[in-house]
Structure 1
Amino acid sequence: MKKLIEQILKFGVVGIIAFFIDWGILNLLVGLFHMHNVVAATISFTISLIFNYCASMKYVFKHRPDMARWMEVVIFVISAVIGLLMNDFIVWLSTYGMNRDAYVSQHIEYLIRTNVGKLIATAIVMVWNFIIRKWLLDDTHTPLMMQFRRAGAELTEEEIELKWEESFSHKLGMWSIEHTPKGWH
């Protein structure tokens, strides 16, 4: 449990930095350049995503030895695209119903509503990202085995190993290793 809390805190720090990158670029594009909020949100989200991937895979999640790096990138990109769609929909919804002509005359309201939508989107996408990355990208097998050895649990070591081998994330990881082109290891 302590390790999970530590990991959530690291994820939070990386997320806060990524949020400020995302939020700063969003406000620069909408506030200064009067860009449409969904276009600006897509650009800012994408830029912060690059930072988030690098920092998350270095400081938050441990590489899984049973998964090829290319699969890590694919999972990260697919989950990011889903997160981007959720983000853009919520940001779009935040200004839905505003008169198109009001974008210019009520620019401050447009910017405020965009920012409220961005805050809501960030909270929802953050939860999505942590769950999907923890499930599919993090090496949970090694800590599970160490925890088992320390605690003297109800399950035998063989039962824990069997559960791990039957898990979707392990099967996906093994598939990715088996389907990695030669020379990419």
Structure 2
Amino acid sequence: MKFGIVGVVAFVIDWGILNLLVIFLHMPNVVAATISFIISLIFNYLASMKFVFKHREDMARWMEMTIFVVSAVIGLLINDLIIWMSTSMLPADAIHTDHGRYVLYTNIGKLIATVVVAVWNFVIRKWLLDDTHTNAMNRLRSGDHKLTPEELEAKREKSFSHRLGMWSIKHAPFGWK
């Protein structure tokens, strides 16, 4: 639920800035999309780390940030590719000669890109950043889980995200934890 709320606010920021830049400044849609995406990404990072995802005790903060940045860069590339494709069939000067259609196609592309990137972000961040072990242990304490504490711990020990997190703690550059 919190992931969705943060995502909606980030989308409004992204979409609003994109349209301001394309409609009023006649900026090319991919350039405008990159700027708006980066601004909304900053909001998304701060809000996600504060309200959505809990810090994993088994992962160094530098690794959390690295995962977030790498996944965001991939998300930006997906976003820009879809927006570019949305207007690629228009004449090269459509931004000036057929501005209404250019803006409409840009917005259709943005909506598609938003869905694709949101799915990408949720999957990668849930897999690598969310502390599901703590959530599972809390459910276990409340009687709402089928695994024993030992089974949960064994499952966590085998998970890629836990092994990556432990590696990041042992290999923190410049002593960053």
- The residue number in structure 2 matching 1:6 is none
Q: Indicate whether 1:46 and 2:38 are aligned.
A: yes
Residue 5 of structure 1 is matched in structure 2 by: none
Alignment of 1:16-165 (within 5 A): 16-151=8-143, 154-165=146-157
State the Cα deviation string for residues 87-115 of structure 1 (Å, max 9, x = none): 01110111111011332110010001001
Cα distance in 1 for partners of 2:8, 2:79 equals 16
Q: How many residues get paired?
A: 177
C-alpha separation in 2, matches of 1:57 and 1:154: 29
CA distance in 1, matches of 2:147, 2:64: 30
Instruction: Please give the per-residue CA displacement for 1:26-56, whole angstroms capped at 9, x wherever unaligned.
Output: 1111111111111110111011100000000
Further displaced range: 22-31 or 97-106? 97-106
Kindly report the root-mean-square deviation, in angstroms, between the aligned alpha carbons of the 2 structures: 1.4
Q: TM-score, normalised by structure 1?
A: 0.90
TM-score relative to the length of structure 2: 0.94
Moved over 6 A (4+): none
Structure 2 unaligned segments of length 5 or more: list them.
Answer: none
For the structure 1 residues 145 and 38, does the alpha-carbon distance in structure 2 shift closer, same or farther, using more than 3 Å as the test?
same
Shift of 1:154: 4.9
Task: Return closer, same or farther for 1:153/1:138 CA change in 2, 3 Å cut-off.
Answer: closer
Cα displacement string for residues 53-106 of structure 1 (whole angstroms, at most 9, x for unaligned residues):
000000011110001000010000010011111101110111111011332110
Q: Which amino acid aligns with 2:149?
A: E
Aligned CA distance change for structure 1 residues 12 and 156 (closer, same or farther; 3 Å): closer
